[in-house]
Structure 1
Amino acid sequence: MPLLSWLTKGTDERPDAVRVDDRAVSWVELRRLAAAVADELHGVDRVAIEATATLETVVGVVGALTAGAAVVPVPPDAGPMERDHILRDSGSTALLVPAGAARGAEGAGRAVVPVDLTRRSDTVHPEPDPARTAVILYTSGTTGAPKGAVISRRAVAACLDGLADAWAWTPDDLLVHGLPLFHVHGLVLGVLGPLRLGSGLHHVGRPRPERYAAATGSMYFGVPTVWSRIAADPDAARALRPARLLVSGSAALPAAVFADLAALTGHRVVERYGMTETLITVSARADGPRRPGTVGLPLPGVRTRLVDDDGAVLPADGAAMGELQVAGPTLFDGYLNRPDADAASRTPDGWFRTGDVATVDPDGWHRIVGRASTDLIKSGGYRIGAGEVEDALLAHPGVREAAVVGVPHPDLGQQVTAYVVGDGVDGAELIDFVARHLSAHKRPREVRLVDALPRNALGKVQKSRLTAD
């Protein structure tokens, strides 16, 4: 089956199948626009694209995939060094830009190909081999330049089909979101999902509560920052009551936000888990329960396991914390030009090391504790999950945001340290508050009050920047 199977066969000429901000096209028109781009990319193996939240980006991505080229999204806010690294490291030989920007675009020796929304083509391009690369997504670690994760068309299809099963995602749906188009969440799920599964798509541009409220969709995607802002706007939240499914991902959704959304929208949010390298592997289901703080069950074909520091498999008893490892059809093909990093990311028996710490209940439900490097704190012989302490802090009415890390301590090994954005609170009060709700050894030893937490484009707190200050 073609990767973008609904788009490939669609005959619907209704003018609003795919909308980005205030511009929309039908399925037939999108296919013809993409075919015109594909005509220009004949023979191109990898093509970079300035991944702005625009209709040109959608058309450019679809055109590149139609031509069988690998898409390399470039974040629009990338600085010169990051942009140059992505272009050089990916080996892209062409750069897609909106037609109006093509004249002044700098391709650094690459062909600059305009995405012109006045050009259409009826060329029928052959469907590429499923093993061909669909996207190369650059992901940053704690050190070094971003690495390019090579993801096949087959892996993308497996992920989307698994989500269609889990979320009952059909052509009757209208998906609404305002996520960046250079990550898995916004691009693979949020654009390629509708083009494979047939749902309408409305990208609202900037993900503001009032724009989500006005979109009248059946499915909504958001990251915790978006959902937190919607929960703080009761009128916008109540406008989502007619929806079928609210989905949160890319970071942990605070339990308080989950509860507020449930009260205001009537929906218990579906949480899911994935990484750039694995796509989405675990999710709650549309026809099943949703438990705050948990991310559900493995998608069809996906296998997971927990291991300890020595690689021994841990029991699924809801208590044992270990590194989550993943195997299955959604895994990436490797890091581009980085055989060392690729080898380090996999076990001898072929499992991917996520670097995330989790617990798994006896019924298979997964709870993500956090990153092993920052969210599993080893203090005084105890293993403490930062997320549990963060949830306890966020239960305090004066706390708006919280991030918990382990910092070196001469006696404990690491001490639990909290960074808090709050109103009228002090550190001693918050330490006592957590100690009353959790085991005493989990309380923060220190609370640092800050004006804001550093976050990336998807709303994830960048804890390395906290500890570097």
Structure 2
Amino acid sequence: MDLLGGEQADHGEAVRVGDRAVSREGLFGWAAGVAAEIRGADVVAVHATPTLETVAAVVGGLLAGVPVVPLPPDSGPAERDHILRDSGARFVLAARGAYEGEGPPVIPVDGLSGSGPEAGTPADATALILYTSGTTGAPKGVLVSRAAMAAGLDALAEAWAWTPEDVVVHGLPLFHVHGLVLGVLGALRVGSPLVHTGRPRAEAYAAARSRGGSLYFGVPTVWSRVCDAPASAQELRRARLLVSGSAPLPVPVFERLEALTGHRPVERYGMTETLITVSARADGDRRPGYVGTPLRGVETKLVAEDGSPSPADGETPGELHVRAPMLFSGYLNRPEATAEALGADGWFRTGDIATIGADGWHRIVGRASTDLIKSGGYRIGAGEVENALLAHPAVREAAVIGTPHADLGEQVTAFVVAEGIESEQLIDFVAERLSTHKRPRIVHLVETLPRNAMGKVVKTRLHP
């Protein structure tokens, strides 16, 4: 089976975005027209708005065997120009009149049509160049091969019992792994129809049940908003599986979602460089605060700061290393960065701190750079403190970081969105539930937390 060769059940519509839909035959005819326009180009960019034009453009790139760079539509001029220059994109594919940026020539994809098979492209050829968020420097281009995507999507289909009889529903951006690779290319590979809601609104997720929505994707912010709309949440009781990813799902949201929908959500873990490597299964346990066990073909291990192995005892944290067939091929034009992250033995250093239990269950503590706090000789995971704060009924959002402390080295500092409570009360609340050394020394009450397009808190932008 080729990358997009899933056999679709008889649903008529293959992809619906908002109030527009296209059949599988119509989509591939449209994409073949795109492929005819770009075949022979080294790289093309796609103005990745949540539209059918974006889907047709990406599929056209795959049919033509041309690497595709999804361009975030909300990117500022500096970020956009960096991505276009760094990738060497020859054209920008976009809906007519939708893209106004400078740079390569724009090819309007509206109305194109054609025919012809997918290009005979090697499995290890680059399919997508996905750019990282750039929180620690300029965004890097991540080279994702056709074989990596196929391996990752097939492993997820197995874990989630994902079949052509499912109808996938989500409203996520189409320039990340979650919304594009899983939510669009996964549906096309499996052969299951896709309903993209345009925006991830609770009422739109509920309305998609009328179209047979069964497999729902969302980030924690989406599921939190679903919980804030009980009538919409009740509609999801008839879904088959609710999947959460792209950021840790707070335990209180997990519990509220279960109470309202009857579903214990499936959590999974991945990165742009790895796609999805760890997940709970449709036919297995689902534990709040944990991301599951390795998918088929995936190996994981924990490494201590001194390079020695960390024990898989469920308690001792270490940096998570991953080896799997769905790993990226390297960073575009950055051999040193590639060599630093991806060893010759195939192990990728994720930069995430995790624990692994004797039963193989993984819990992500956070990023080594921002979420592992070293205070007074203790190593404290920010996520554990965040979950403790979120357990208070007055707290809506929480983010925890380490800040400099003259005696402790670092102190636990929290930024909290809450109503009707004082900082000292929250400090005492955490101290009653966790070890005393894990309590926040400082709690800043704020109106909002800075987040990126996928709903992740950008901790580098947290300031008192």
- Which TM-score applies when normalising by structure 1? 0.96
Aligned partners of 1:443 and 1:345: how far apart in 2?
33
Correspondence list, 1:292-307, <5 A: 292-307=288-303
User: Is the partner of 1:437 in helix, strand or coil?
Assistant: coil
Separation in 1 of the partners of 2:126 and 2:355?
Answer: 33
RMSD (CA atoms): 1.3
Given that 1:2 and 1:127 are in contact with CA atoms closer than 8 Å, whether structure 2 keeps it comes out as no
Deviates further, 82-91 or 342-351: 342-351
Give, as a single letter, the amino acid of the residue that structure 2 aligns with 1:435: A
For residues 3 and 118 of structure 2, what CA distance do their matches in structure 1 show? 13
- Greater shift, 246-255 or 335-344, is seen at 335-344
The residue that corresponds to 2:450 in the other structure is 454
User: For the residues of structure 2 that align with 1:99 and 1:177, how far apart are their CA atoms?
Assistant: 25
Letter in 2 for 1:305: K
Tell me which residue corresponds to 1:142: 135
The residue that corresponds to 1:205 in the other structure is 198
| 1:31 aligned partner, one-letter code | F
Question: 2:145, 2:328 within 8 Å by CA — same for their partners in 1?
Answer: yes
Aligned residues with identical type, % of pairs: 66
Q: 2:8, 2:190 within 8 Å by CA — same for their partners in 1? A: no
Aligned pairs for 1:393-408 within 5 A: 393-408=389-404
Q: In the alignment, which residue of structure 2 is the partner of 1:156?
A: 149
2:164 partner amino acid: P
Instruction: Please show how residues 50-449 of structure 1 align to structure 2 within 5 Å.
Output: 50-101=47-98, 105-106=100-101, 108=103, 110-116=104-110, 118-216=111-209, 217-347=213-343, 349-449=345-445
| CA shift in 2, pair 1:106/1:79, >3 Å | closer
Deviation, structure 1 residue 15: 4.1
Name the amino acid aligned to 1:349: D
Deviation digits for residues 103-135 of structure 1 (CA, Å, limit 9, x no counterpart)? xx4552x3321112x332122343311111010
Q: Using the alignment, how far apart are the partners of 1:344 and 1:350 within structure 2?
A: 12
- Structure-2 change in CA distance of 1:245 and 1:11 (3 Å): closer
Partner residue in 1 for 2:29: 32
Q: Deviations over 1:294-347 (max 9, x none)?
A: 000111111000000011111111011000000010110111011121111124
Q: 1:231 and 1:11 mapped to 2: Cα distance?
A: 32
**How far apart, CA to CA, are the structure 2 residues paired with 1:169 and 1:25?**
21
Q: Distance in 1 between matches of 2:284 and 2:458?
A: 32
Deviation at 1:97, TM superposition (A): 1.1
Greater CA drift, 425-434 or 136-145 = 136-145
* Offset of residue 365 of structure 1: 0.3
Is the 8 Å Cα contact of residues 431 and 443 (structure 1) preserved in structure 2?
Answer: yes
C-alpha distance in 1, partners of 2:26/2:88? 31
Distance 1:10 1:167 in 2: 17
Structure 1 residues 93 and 107: CA distance shift in structure 2, 3 A: farther
* Cα displacement (A) at 1:73: 0.6
- Aligned mates of 2:285, 2:34 — CA distance in 1: 43
Q: How far, CA to CA, are the matches of 2:87 and 2:172 in structure 1?
A: 23
C-alpha contact (below 8 Å) 1:15/1:24 kept by paired residues: no
Residue 19 of structure 1: which of 5, 16, 19 is its match? 16
Q: Structure 1 stretches of 5 or more lacking a match?
A: none
Correspondence for 1:42: 39
Q: Which runs of 5+ in 2 are unaligned?
A: none
Instruction: Work out the CA distance in 2 between the residues paired with 1:443 and 1:363.
Output: 29
Shift of 1:348: 5.2
Q: How far 1:201 sits from its partner (Å)?
A: 0.1
CA distance in 2, matches of 1:11, 1:92: 36
The Cα offsets for residues 257-281 of structure 1, whole Å up to 9 and x where unpaired, read as 1011101101000000000000000
CA contact (8 A) 2:178 2:246 kept: yes
Is the CA contact 2:449–2:457 (under 8 Å) kept in the aligned structure 1? yes
Q: Deviations over 1:396-427 (max 9, x none)?
A: 11111000110011110100011000001111
Partner Cα distance (1:94, 1:15) in 2: 32
Residue 235 of structure 1 and its aligned partner are, at CA, apart by: 0.4
Equivalent position amino acid for 1:209 in 2: A
2-side partners of 1:115 and 1:211: how far apart? 27
CA contact (8 A) 1:281 1:302 kept: yes
Q: Which amino acid aligns with 2:331?
A: Y
In 1, are the aligned partners of 2:9 and 2:164 still within 8 Å (CA)?
Answer: no
Closer, same or farther: CA 10–126 of 1 in aligned 2, 3 Å: farther
User: Are the aligned partners of 1:18 and 1:25 in contact in 2 as well (CA < 8 Å)?
Assistant: yes
Partner SS, residue 227 of structure 1:
helix
CA contact (8 A) 2:302 2:319 kept: yes
Give the length in aligned residue pairs.
461
Preserved contact between residue 401 and residue 459 of structure 2 (Cα < 8 Å): yes
Deviation of the 1:101 alpha carbon: 4.1
